[in-house]
Structure 1
């Protein structure tokens, strides 16, 4: 990080009281501000975040995408880093994530689990279907836009704030991650990846229920591919 570029870290959170404090403290040395966007948490996520002295935003309860869109409006930094609240991403990867933006090589950088490995996407049928679905969507994006990326779904990413605001993002749930990728490419901005390992969540349970949202991933994919 250089003094000329300020970094805002955005942590969307829903019922993550056991991990949010550790994630905040892990991120603190790499940024100028931290925003925790709290969903309708039934636990003490908001209280723990507030106790760590970060900016706390209450989202509208529509999902992670809506939380991210609200944060993009409110950040003050030149670069936004998105990181999950469950401890599955390593804050010490943040310098590598933002480096291509600082050096002018990219406008948007995603952490790739295919390049960095994942402790979360292996072991059972749910993980298998998540991995297969992610691979299918990524293959479609590569085919449509003639690019070669390996992971379109990872929530760990960095983007120039000015670019994020030009993408006019619309998705309310986790489909915002593939929307962000496709609109970055479609609008002519530069996208790259770095290897980033995904660790097993440190506590709690995943909020994604594929049986309820798989069709929204397909709908979103088709909508932004054409």
Structure 2
């Protein structure tokens, strides 16, 4: 399970929380728990991204793609090149869907570090709560429960950086009316400082930014 904050998008997401103080957003569908499905039902579930590329796993969630994450066509699970995964020391075979339930906002994948399997890097998307307000609106909506670090810039695009604790960082870039979020979580008794972990997250985003439509 990816250890993300509930405030990643400023709305309720069925993911293990690390910190409180997130802004609540009304009108979003609740995540539905996975249920046993018949072979016919499973066969009808979408298994490809918008370009027809097959997911690297079978999803049991009919609403993995939904109105909560359709603001961009970017799909990290199929569009992050193997050479990028290898370059960052991630275990290719560890790739896993971030979605833990149906109709979840977060759509994307996580990998475990080959030499540190307790630690993870993930990239996923989710629609902005206030698309017209962009990154500034997202930052304002999620002021509580985290520390916003100075913004960065990659390929001329604004990037938000935030950390809830040492060893943890999330960076955000806008794509269409959605956010693409890259997170690094380093586990251990003496986790590295946030700035160093944010550097890893920024480097991964930099390596994939050309795949992410603006």
Q: TM-score, normalised by structure 2?
A: 0.29
Greater RCO, 1 or 2 (C-alpha within 8 Å, sep 6+):
1
Q: TM-score, normalised by structure 1?
A: 0.28
Q: Which protein is richer in helix relative to its size?
A: 1
